[in-house]
Amino acid sequence: MPDENVRIVVFSSAALFAFIAFFIIYFVILYRNRQLKNKKEQERLQATFKQELLKTQLEVQEQTLNYISTEIHDNITQVLSFVKLTLGNIAGGVEEEKKGKVLETRELVAQSITDLRDLSKSLSFEHIASQGLIRTIEKEAERINKSGLIEVALGQEGNSYSLGEQRELVLFRIFQESLNNTLKYAEAKHLKIMLQYDADLFTLTLEDDGSGFSTETLENKSGSGLRNIENRAAMIGGAATINSSPGNGCKIKVILNPLKQQLY
């Protein structure tokens, strides 16, 4: 009887041990496969992110070049042409008039030098990295206000913190894209920009009082600039919401958890 009992215990315990061992081995294999799959997915995401980042850098650069070209054409060239004309007419005048014209030309040249200096410090991705997002947006808002195209009001809530070079670059590109849309299509008079820095949430809001559009149109245009805004926000682990309706302006909101670890 005891022998038989020992046999029963040995058999049942061996069966149980074997079953648990099989389960654990199966789990380890499954887990390893998941790890490999995740690693591949992460590599793919990293590659996509790098590509997108490069694209964003190029777009910011292109935007900067456009801005520089416009500034040179509309401002500096005009001023210098005026200076040339003034200097051309200086020969045949009275001494007092000559002095006045020289002074005027000097001021214009000084203005052109200041404008050129501003241009040299204009918005490139190196500039965003060194100045930070909020300062760069401030500069851009100043520039737009100066142009008189639209009245921009910039606000900030909470103490600003860095979101990381790459994320700030992407956010700035989102800002540029939104601003371009407002300037090109919205026929807006006012644009409100709000940056909210909470401990675990960053929010960028752009709200205009323009003609607005139906968001259903957005659903159908997968390649539009507004779709790009959504995709870019997702790329940096955030989310963009676009609210608009005809006649009621447009509100673009980008939210981002600054503490969230990214896959890239």
* Residue owning tokens 């644009």: 191
CB of 33 to other proteins, least distance (A): 9
Instruction: Identify whether the C-beta of residue 230 lies closer than 8 Å to the C-beta of residue 245.
Output: no
Spatial contact of 80 and 111, defined as CB atoms under 8 Å apart: no
CA-CA-CA-CA dihedral for 51, 57, 60, 61, to nearest 10 = -120
**Closest CB to other proteins among residues 36, 199:** 36
From start to end of the chain, where are the E strands? 151-157, 190-198, 201-208, 238-244, 250-256
What is the sign of the dihedral through the CA atoms of 243, 157, 188 and 55?
A: negative
Name the minimum Å distance from CB 10 to other proteins. 7
Phi-psi group of 212: left, alpha or beta (phi > 0 → left; psi -120 to 50 → alpha; rest → beta): left
Minimum CB separation of residue 261 from other proteins in Å reads 10
Closer to other proteins at the Cβ: 3 or 95? 3
**Which C-beta is closer to other proteins: that of 25 or that of 110?**
25
Angle between helices 225-235 and 2-71 (to 10 degrees): 140
What is the residue type of 91? Answer: A
CB of residue 78 to other proteins, shortest distance in Å: 59
Q: Minimum CB separation from other proteins for residue 262, in Å?
A: 14
Residue 223: CA count within 13 A, CB half-sphere: 0
Name the site residues for other proteins (rule: CB under 8 A): 1-2, 5-6, 8-10, 12-13, 16, 20, 23-24, 27-28, 30-32, 34-35, 38-39
Helices (H), 92-164: 95-120, 125-131, 133-147
Q: How far is the CB of 175 from other proteins (least distance, A)?
A: 33
- Nearer to other proteins (CB atom), residue 35 or residue 77: 35
CA 151 vs. chain centroid, Å, equals: 21
Supply the minimum distance, in Å, between the C-beta of residue 19 and other proteins: 8
Query: In the complex with other proteins, which residue's Cβ is closer, 5 or 222?
Result: 5
By C-beta, is 24 or 58 nearer to other proteins?
24
